[in-house]
Amino acid sequence: MKMKTFKNTLLALLMLTFSCQENLSELETAVKNDFIQNSVAGCNIDINGETGISCKYTSTGLYSISGLGSFNNPQISWSTSGTGILIPFGASNSTVQVTFKPTFNSGELTATVTDGSLTCSETITIDCKGSNGSGGGSTNCGQNDNLNIVENIEPCYPSQHPHGRYTLTGESSSNISWSVQNGTIFSSSGDYVVMKPTSIGGYTLTATITYPGGCKKTYSKNFYAESCL
Give the start-to-end residue ranges of the domains of the chain: 46-137, 144-227
pLDDT at 199: 94
CATH topology of domain 144-227: Immunoglobulin-like (2.60.40)
Same topology, domains 46-137 and 144-227? Answer is yes
Is the pTM value of this prediction over 0.85? no
pLDDT at 32: 55
pLDDT at 104: 85
pLDDT at 22: 54
Give the architecture-level CATH label for domain 46-137.
Sandwich (2.60)
Residues 209 and 171 sit within 8 Å (Cβ to Cβ): yes
- Chunked in runs of 10, what are the mean pLDDT values of the chain (229 residues)? 53 56 57 49 75 74 85 90 88 89 86 85 81 36 68 92 91 83 93 94 88 75 90
What DSSP line would sit under the chain, residue for residue? -HHHHHHHHHHHHHHHHHHHHHHHHHHHHHHHHHHHHTTSS----EEES-SEE-TTT--EEEEEEE--TT-SS-EEEEEEEETTEE--S-TTSSEEEEEE-TT-SEEEEEEEEEETTEEEEEEEEEEE-GGG---------GGGTT-EEEEEE--EES--TT-EEEEEES---S-EEEEEETEEEEEEETTEEEEEESSSEEEEEEEEEE-TTS-EEEEEEEEEEEE--
pLDDT at 131: 34
